[in-house]
Structure 1
Amino acid sequence: MPVVREFTLPDLGEGLTGAEVVRWMVEVGEVIVVDQPVVEVETAKAVVEVPCPYGGVVTARFGEVGEEVPVGAPLVTVAVSPGEGVRVSGGGADERPLVGYGVADGPKGARRGRVRMGGTGSPAAAPVAVAPAPAPAAPAVAAPSVVAVISPLVRRMAREHGVDLAALAGSGPHGLIMRADVARAAAGPAPAATVVAGAVAPAAAPAVTPASLADEVVPLRGLRRAVAEKLTRSHREMPAATCWVDADATELMALRAQLNRSAGPKISVLALLARICTVALARFPELNSSVEPDGSAVRRHGAVHLGFAAQGERGLVVPVVRDAQALGTEQLGAELARLTEGARTGALTPAELTGGTFTLNNYGVFGVDGSTPILNHPEAAMLGVGRITPKPWVHEGELAVRQVTQLSFTFDHRVCDGGTAGGFLRFVADCVEQPGMLLRQL
């Protein structure tokens, strides 16, 4: 007789205590193989596919989509035939597999047909002993069609609005279904035009009902909850102050254009700003620091692990460039590009989103000039860069149109006084205005 084994949510690392069910990848009654992903979950750091170390027939699932599952709680139960369907490794048959992070297109393991189980087959059904699977000659249920969706946010949006993803034609690359496609489908077809005496008149707008004005409560889960808790703690614990200065970035932009005319990888403005930050932190090491949890001391970090704000499918994240002080401008540009792409696709690991010692926030990409951001706890400082735009500027005693940006610097007043913060910001501004100064630091 098969033995029913329980697979629990493994420890996903980075101090995470649970995860939210985003998408079930198997059904009750389905035959799975060893190490086949069975569920996609969202942690405070990333979207994760969880593989099961058992092969056999899925007899039960635990946790609805959107439900939080604690580490160690059951995910699925699997009927395993004696001597088969268990991954064996040096740590024993019950050793948990390493979990791969990131959103994938679908299950990595081979899918099998479903077999009928005794009882109702409800996902909430309790684990029971089951009979062996039918002989191979028994007809298998056809596998479901593949829907061109990789984002769990798109799937959730479709569920909330009752949109059938299988009926949509995606507008993204290779037919990928995007959030805009779901939004159009949720809005419904455009009202038909009415023809009156040869003229086309728009149909009357639908009446606004009280139900359409009802409040919507959006739970804070996963990444959004982690961000909310971190920002609240930062605002509560850190006595932050901000100073700012306008800088003429004309020479910096000219240098970038000159570098990009030569052979080799293209250099981004962000890479140049990151290089300026590492040089400035070498001159002002007090700002590459954090206050100890008990508030009794300041820890000055030897290495610069440079975080930068990036927008992705799951919202704003802060990837971290490790040991940025040891990288040249081209290397910084390559690493920034790699992490930015990972943020866009949701493929960054928890290790790539934690451990920063200083943050560079280029909010100019949103078309704004200035900001007073909340510090990325427990970091002690953040440099903000506004948009670089033509403005009237006094240059060499005459009024001219120059490429101007606003630099802001937010710092934890416990780690330094205003003189240190002002010295850091002035040095950064001088490097933006006269990038040749960086040659003295190389």
Structure 2
Amino acid sequence: MEDDGHVLEFRLPDLGEGLTEAEVVSWSVAVGDDIELNQTIAEVETAKAVVALPSPFAGRVEELLVEPGETVEVGASLIRVRIASPPSAVAADQTEAETAAAPSPGPDTADGNGRRSVLVGYGPEGEAETRRRRPAPEARAAATPAARKLAKELGIDLWFVAGSGPNGAVTVDDVRGAVPVSPPRPSAPRTDLAPATSTAPSESDQNAGVIRPSVREERVPVGGIRKRTAAAMSASARTIPQASAFVALDCTASMELLDHLRTTKSFAGLTLTPLALVAKATLAAIAEFPAVNAHWDEANQQIVTKHYVNLGIAVATARGLLVPNLKEAQTLGLRDLCREIGWLAETARSGSATPADLRGGTFTITNVGVFGVDAAVPLVNPGEAAILCLGSIRRRPWVFRDELAVRWVTTLGVSFDHRMIDGELAARFLTTTAGLLEDPLTLLSR
């Protein structure tokens, strides 16, 4: 931040985790707005998460220096704010804000008074870091400040307005287009579309309730999480020699166990899903075959086997695929796994997952079964050795105790880095995981 008379500049702070840039998703303020200390002024998206930026001082917004959709480097100027007090009165506050925004070793860093370092300033004194995080803040639809103001005046809910701006942000024109208007008279045809793209609905379409698209093509700039995902997957396909293996299994006993556990007091209030049981079985199999929990160190030409598991859970969100991970997952029981998986999925979908949640994964599970897919071949995340894929769980004919019966059946698949994992190891790991799901009572003692 730089002092220009009574006008101060707020620069993009260091968001930690080695991140050097961020994309401005939306502004929460507009020129002329009066803002308060620590009021959220913007949301920026890094390679890891969406982060809300609080203002380090109070004043009136003079100028927004970056448009939504632009990617800026750490240290770049974002906004100018005119303060009411002389610059000398806020100099100490600026210094403290800049110091707090500087890189820190990690989310658990604390000062001598036991206060945790946050983006600007410090959290409450004595606040202990716990595995269960605070509830995610209410999500907001991405929109330009002018569009947000107009929508408020017109009483329009931005969640129900399709955005045409960068990264789907709602613009003023989008808001105006959402206002009900009288249909145009036949004598005033639209001139902004070529004849081939005319969208006037026919009488049969109107009767059938058919909605025709207003344009034939749509171009969306690639940015944010989609851009980073594309880069990671390209690197995965380009640098990792990958192979896959699959096994079909009878998971009826697992489904019956889940039904029983849902009725117990220990799991009351929790959403117990097959994914939690699969995660527990995967962790048990990793303990038996730790070589699948490793990464290839290209610089030192070493295979690094990790004796802890940061278990990644792939989550589909409106902004793209995120893979938050459970730190030290090998220490968690089934109940804790159930709770933490639900919590990570919630924070990822709400956009409140932190960079710390999204980095440092050692092994990943992806669940394509929730989309009705029986099997898939996922790409290994760079920095990991393997990824397990859970397919849909369906009732199917199965030979059980030498007789044909209808059982709950699913398919497990594993993609692996063939530099570190050969076919035998992958097969043993996969069949061990499947065996634990076929006889899940053996998991309860682990």
Question: Which amino acid in the other structure matches residue 10 of structure 1?
Answer: P
Find 2:345's aligned residue among 337, 340, 353: 340
Query: For 1:163, what is the secondary structure of its paired residue?
Result: helix
The number of equivalent residue pairs is 382
Distance of 1:309 and 1:143 partners within structure 2: 34
Counterpart residue number, 1:176: none
Distance of 2:160 and 2:306 partners within structure 1: 37
Question: Which amino acid in the other structure matches residue 65 of structure 2?
Answer: F
Distance of 1:63 and 1:391 partners within structure 2: 56
Q: Which deviates more from structure 2 when the two are superposed, residues 35-44 or residues 226-235?
A: 35-44
Q: Given the alignment of the two structures, is residue 390 of structure 1 paired with residue 401 of structure 2, yes or no?
A: no
Q: Given the alignment of the two structures, is residue 159 of structure 1 paired with residue 162 of structure 2, yes or no?
A: no
Counterpart residue number, 1:26: 29
Distance of 2:61 and 2:172 partners within structure 1: 30
Deviation for aligned residue 1:8: 0.9
Check the 8 A contact 1:8/1:75 in 2, yes or no: yes
CA 1:13/1:92 → structure 2, altered by over 3 Å: closer, same or farther? closer
Question: Which amino acid in the other structure matches residue 217 of structure 1?
Answer: R
Question: Which deviations, in whole Å up to 9, do the C-alpha atoms of 1:275-311 show, x marking residues without a partner?
Answer: 1011000000000111114260111112111011112
Find 2:86's aligned residue among 82, 88, 96: 82
Alignment of 1:215-364 (within 5 A): 216-265=218-267, 266=270, 267-294=272-299, 296-364=301-369
Deviation for aligned residue 1:437: 2.9
Alignment of 1:40-51 (within 5 A): 40-51=43-54
Distance of 1:93 and 1:297 partners within structure 2: 41
Structure 2 gap ranges (5+): 102-117, 121-133, 141-148, 181-198
Deviation for aligned residue 1:382: 0.9
Check the 8 A contact 1:313/1:345 in 2, yes or no: no
Query: For 1:226, what is the secondary structure of its paired residue?
Result: helix
Deviation for aligned residue 1:151: 10
CA 1:83/1:334 → structure 2, altered by over 3 Å: closer, same or farther? same
Distance of 1:342 and 1:230 partners within structure 2: 22
CA 1:404/1:155 → structure 2, altered by over 3 Å: closer, same or farther? same
CA 1:27/1:237 → structure 2, altered by over 3 Å: closer, same or farther? same
Question: Which amino acid in the other structure matches residue 86 of structure 1?
Answer: V
Check the 8 A contact 2:163/2:174 in 1, yes or no: no
CA 1:93/1:163 → structure 2, altered by over 3 Å: closer, same or farther? closer
Counterpart residue number, 1:418: 423
Query: For 1:50, what is the secondary structure of its paired residue?
Result: strand
Distance of 1:93 and 1:290 partners within structure 2: 38
Query: For 2:23, what is the secondary structure of its paired residue?
Result: strand
Deviation for aligned residue 1:163: 2.3
Question: Which amino acid in the other structure matches residue 255 of structure 1?
Answer: L
Query: For 1:277, what is the secondary structure of its paired residue?
Result: helix
Distance of 1:201 and 1:271 partners within structure 2: 47
Question: Which deviations, in whole Å up to 9, do the C-alpha atoms of 1:315-367 show, x marking residues without a partner?
Answer: 22111011111010001101011111112211111111111100111111010
Task: Please give the root-mean-square deviation of Cα atoms over the aligned residues, in Å.
Answer: 3.6
Deviation for aligned residue 1:47: 1.7
TM normalised by structure 1 equals 0.77
Q: Given the alignment of the two structures, is residue 6 of structure 1 paired with residue 9 of structure 2, yes or no?
A: yes
Counterpart residue number, 2:74: 71
Distance of 1:413 and 1:168 partners within structure 2: 56
TM normalised by structure 2 equals 0.76
Deviation for aligned residue 1:190: 9.4
Q: Given the alignment of the two structures, is residue 370 of structure 1 paired with residue 372 of structure 2, yes or no?
A: no
Which has the higher Rg, Structure 1 or Structure 2? 1
Alignment of 1:87-236 (within 5 A): 88=92, 92=96, 94-97=98-101, 98-99=118-119, 104=138, 145=153, 148-149=157-158, 156=165, 157=168, 159=170, 162-164=173-175, 202=207, 212-214=215-217, 216-236=218-238
Distance of 2:289 and 2:307 partners within structure 1: 12
CA 1:151/1:358 → structure 2, altered by over 3 Å: closer, same or farther? farther
Deviation for aligned residue 1:224: 0.6
CA 1:94/1:359 → structure 2, altered by over 3 Å: closer, same or farther? closer
Find 1:61's aligned residue among 60, 64, 83: 64
CA 1:151/1:84 → structure 2, altered by over 3 Å: closer, same or farther? farther
